[in-house]
Amino acid sequence: MQSIYLDNAATTPLKKEVVDIMTETHMNNFGNPSSTHQYGRKAKALLESARKNIAKYLHCDPSEIYFTGGGTEADNLILFNSVRNLGVKRIITSLIEHHAVLHTIDRLVFSDHIEVCYVKLLEDGSPNLQDLENLLTDGKPTLVSLMWVNNEIGNTIDLKQLALLCKKYGAYFHSDTVQGIGHLPLNLKETGVHFIAASAHKFHGPKGVGFAYIQKGIPIQAHLIGGEQERAVRAGTENLPGILGMEKALQLATENLESDMFKLKELKSYFIEELRNNFKNIQFNGTSAAIDISAPHILNVRFPKSIPMLLFQLDLKGIAASGGSACQSGSNKGSHVLQNVLNEQEQKKTSVRFSFSTLNTKEEIDCLIMILKELIKD
């Protein structure tokens, strides 16, 4: 049976270079970066070199990078710090954010009694910027939290445009960039965003490691209590093999970004064309089929009818895809993103998210189309 992995928005396979450097670190650079002897000093030097290089790839200062256990922790760190340390009284977000943001905001509403406003969405799921500006005009101490790339429908926002709008009204701007880092170019110095969150396993790095970017000059208090690691913001011995693996993965993604984007757009365009040629009334959710404005690696397909157990049937054929975020795989509620983008009739149809990496090929797409034709009858 063929095996075709098309769920890269959930996680990506490790690249060999990443595995190699992590193995080398486990074997030969196992020292604790907080130790003062030669093993610890060497580990500390590698840690800070990784921080410096990650900052270089994203065009920011190394002091603005805080290593975390992943994107969810980074989002938590930023949101809790904004409310409890920066005086934020209101968070403006959208109903199609990742649950790392939405559920954290729910907790802050409960524990800190903050106000939350949900910006209106356009028909394609993009935030209504006029509505956002209307919300900002009252001058309340506000954090705007809108994700750069939607992990289910591939919509993107203009970070610089949003940052300028927030600056105009004195609001902080946070973006969960987990699904965009390594897939789209990002210059943090030019963009002006105050906070971002990133996770290594979305760009062929290891799971369980990520980072928060916090713009220089913004005060921050301890998130995990304990030792003095990460400048006393995030206690706990640093995951040096994971951090060095993340550094290598981001280096490879940055060096190959232009060619990788071209290949992914070409692959997605080919898949869209084949779907339209072989299935009547096929539709696409969000802006995912708009090649020039959506994430190059995500396509959310809405078939003309309900197809029971399609994901299960694809899995039996060796095809890995998803109905939405992997974080909701144990839920029977369905995709909260599609519930807020599609009308009730459209929600009854079967939608599948296919997400690619540069390891995928047109031959795999051909195989997928053949299997879909077997499973979906007019």
Set 60, 117, 166, 327: catalytic member: 327
3-state secondary structure of 353: strand
Q: Are strands 142-145 and 90-93 parallel, antiparallel or unpaired?
A: parallel
The amino acid occupying position 87 is G
How long a stretch of residues is the chain? Answer: 378
Please name the residue that has the structure tokens 């965003």: 193
Contact 241, 14 (CB under 8 A): no
Contacts of 103 (CB under 8 A, 6+ apart): none
CA atoms within 13 A on the CB side of 249: 29
Could you tell me which of 158, 178, 163 has the C-alpha nearest to residue 100? Answer: 178
Please name the residue that has the structure tokens 């005009």: 137
How many angstroms separate the CA atoms of 218 and 261, rounded? 33
Could you tell me which of 206, 253, 321, 320 has the C-alpha nearest to residue 54? Answer: 253
Instruction: Give φ, ψ of 199 to 5 degrees.
Output: -140, 130
Q: Is 327 one of the annotated active-site residues of the chain?
A: yes
Contact 186, 58 (CB under 8 A): yes
Contact 238, 66 (CB under 8 A): no
Could you tell me which of 160, 183, 369 has the C-alpha nearest to residue 275? Answer: 369
Contact 199, 11 (CB under 8 A): no
Q: First vs last Cα of the chain: how many Å apart?
A: 26
Angle at 109 between CA 169 and CA 156, to 5 degrees: 55
- What residues act catalytically? 327
